[in-house]
Each structure stands twice: as structure tokens, then as C-alpha cells.
Chains A and B, each alone.
Chain A
Amino acid sequence: MRVSDRTMYELPSTILEYFPQIIQISKPSNFKKLNSTLLAAIDEICRTTPNSKPRHWAGNLYTTARNRNQLMDEPNFRELADFITEEIKIFASKFCIDKSNGVISINNMWINILKNKDSMDQHCHPNSLFCGVYFVKIPHNAGLLAFDSPSSEQMINPPIKVNNQYNMRQAGFKMSEGDLIIFNSYLKHRVLLHDVDEERISIGFTCAL
């Protein structure tokens, strides 16, 4: 028996896949009308609310994450908040979360706007269980939302011959207007460079028990 070529003999094998992360994607049926309402409200907020981006964030963007993050309580965002709340329930059911924990509800909801050359560096959302993004305005080739694999933090990074799901260090999500995505708050993510002139407008949120 000589092992000089993988194809000389193949042992019968099975790949067991453990610990997958899931991203839930859904869309309100009336998202165009909803987005029109949201854009008008966002425009008004931008005029009266300064950028709350902390200096230690590397990328540039406009955000109300630190100074106006209770949008779920504002009338213009209530319809979206209701939709998100229902979707969170469905996402939570995938994790078999016991009702004894209490109700999962939105605890923060804010606006992010990226102009040309803006981005958002890698982060996660402590003190929350799930988080998500609703995409209000997404121009063609807008900066992608990208998720980072836990393997991206490993200090040994073997050379790769074929890219696949097992060696993937980052996964980009190609979003479109009206998409609502929900994922685990501990999953690190970022927004890659927004390299187009039109603005990219999204609403971020976190939820907790």
C-alpha cells in the first residue's frame, strides 16, 4: 500500500457538520411603500441628530447607534418594528428557546448611513441575544455585509487550494432593498467599503430577553 496520490485509494468517509451559524432572511411584502415612509423619517432624523459614531470606530459612517437608538418606539418605525418582532419569534423558535426566559424584544434600533468610501469595522453586539439589519436603500454594488468565521482568528492559517465552506474565513451577504436579516449577536460582522456614490441606508437592531 502506497500513499503518494490521494486517488490511489479512498477510504469510505462521512463529513459530520457541527455548530453551523444561520442567517434568517425575510422581506415585508409591502417593502417599497414601507421604505418610502422610512426614508422620509430618516431624512428628518439626519437633519436633527448629529453623528454618534465613536472616534475608535475605524470606518466612517453616519450612525444613531449611540444617541437615537430607540427607534422602535417612534411612530414612523413601528410598522418595521412589528415586522422585526414577528421575525425574531420565528428565528428564536429555531433555537428552541424556552418561554421561561421571558419575551425576546427589540432593545435597540438605530440608523446607519454609508456614503462613498464609508465602511464599518468588525464588531459584534454584547448584551443582546440576536441582532439584525433591515435594508432601506441599497444601490447597485453597495458595500457588502460580511460575516467573519471564528477560524479567521486562528493563528495558523493553512494554505488553501480550493475555497470552500470549511475554510471560508469571511462570508459576504448580497442584500437587496427590503431584506431583513437576523443572526446571533456574537457572530462578528462588518460592512465592506461602500465604493459607490449613492447612499447605503440600513436600520440595525438588537434584541434581548
Chain B
Amino acid sequence: MSIVPARDYQKLFPVPVMLIKVPNAASLNEKLVAEIQQVSMTTPNGKPDSWACDVYTTLTNNNRLHERPGFHDFDLLMRQGFMQFGHAMGYDFTIESLEITQCWVNIYNFGMSQEIHHHPNNIMTGVYYLQAPANCSEILFHSHFADVMIRPAVYEDNALNNPIASLHPKPGDLIFFDSSLRHSVPANDIEGERISLSFNARF
């Protein structure tokens, strides 16, 4: 049987991740790294015992970093990013109704990682990369359909068959995504420290 030559494809439900290359990030990062050195000297590792991975984090014990005076410029940057991402998502909110629920630092030394997780009780999540040495760990995103039990072998990964997408960060990269999107960081297999700020918001 012959067919109509035109075969059409409709793309549904793409999952957006917004990437912002922060202009003049070097000077901001220099100030923030100095602030974070102070934070890490005075804040013990807040990694819960229930996490399988190893990482230095202040998620549980120092997660209002954006309220510190030294983070003022970053706080504005983060809020602007949330506004832009929320606008792209079509959300109905204002800067006044935006609530930053947490802002914390993660530091990955050699071999450290972050297992798959998401951020309940939030709408939008972001990460800012202050230090991301060459070949440091990427961030991985995991499809909402990653758990399907039928997955045939493929001869080449592509956007349709791979339930994992990776993004290799560079210093000054600011990313935003839906808080329900599961993500992880594989082992940091280099000596240089990978330092990121993470933050959640709702409205």
C-alpha cells in the first residue's frame, strides 16, 4: 500500500530548563566564593544521614544565604532569573508574591556526588555555578518517564529515547527548572572544587 508522502510529527510536553549566562560573572563569583568560604568555616556539613551520596551542603542548617548582606547582588540576580523562568512557564505571579524558600551552597570535592532528588513544596528550582572547573561533574536531569519498565536497547542515544539529559556547567551559568524535575550530580572525578548555590521558590 502506498502512503501519503507527508508524515507529520507532533511534539508534546517538552520539559524546559532555562540557561542564563550571567554577564560579568567573574567579579560576582569572586565575592561569593569569599562569602562561601566564611560560611563553610562556620557551618558544619548539613548532609542528612539518609543521603547515600557524599557532598558538603548547607541545605538543612544554613539555607537562607540570600539574606546575608554579601549575597545582596546575587539575591537580585536569582529573583530576576525566577521571574524570567516563571514568565516562560506562563505562571501567574509577581515579584512581590515570589517566596524564596531556601538558598544553600553545595561543594563537591573529588569523588563527591548528589543522588537523584527533586524539591517538594516548591514550584521552581535553580542552581548557580560559582566554580565549575573543566571536566567537573555535569548536572543530570531525569525524565518523568524514566521509570517505565519496558526500555529496549538502542544503538544510539537521542532526545527521544534517553531518559537522562546532561548539562555541563560553566562558571557563571544560572539554570532554572521545575521543582518536580528530578536531577542528580554524578561523582566529581577531578581535584578542583565544584561550588554551586541552589535555591527554591514558590508563590
Residues of A within 8 A of B (CB): 1-6, 9-30, 79, 82-83, 86-87, 90, 94-98, 100-101, 127-129, 147, 149-151, 154, 156, 158-168, 171, 173, 184-187, 208-209
Q: Which of A15, A20, A100 contacts B160 (CB 8 A)?
A: A20
Q: Within residues 55 to 109 of chain B, which ones have a CB less than 8 A from any CB in chain A?
A: 73, 76-77, 79-81, 83-84, 87-93, 95
Q: Which of B10, B16, B202 contacts A23 (CB 8 A)?
A: B10
- Interface range on chain B: under 10, 10 to 19, 20 to 34, or 35 or more? 35 or more
Q: Within residues 131 to 162 of chain B, which ones have a CB less than 8 A from any CB in chain A?
A: 141, 143-145, 148, 150, 152-161
Q: Are A173 and B92 in contact (CB under 8 A)?
A: no
Q: Are B20 and A17 in contact (CB under 8 A)?
A: no
* Max chain A Cβ within 10 angstroms of own Cβ: one of B2, B23, B90, B95: B90
A sample of 25 inter-chain contacts (CB < 8 A) reads: A3-B76, A3-B79, A5-B95, A6-B87, A11-B81, A11-B174, A13-B19, A19-B141, A19-B145, A20-B15, A20-B160, A22-B12, A22-B160, A25-B8, A26-B8, A27-B3, A29-B2, A79-B1, A94-B160, A128-B150, A161-B91, A168-B13, A186-B150, A187-B12, A209-B152
Q: Are B23 and A12 in contact (CB under 8 A)?
A: yes
B172-189 interface bits toward A, Cβ cutoff 8 Å, 1 = contact, 0 = none? 001000111000000000
Q: Are A82 and B14 in contact (CB under 8 A)?
A: no
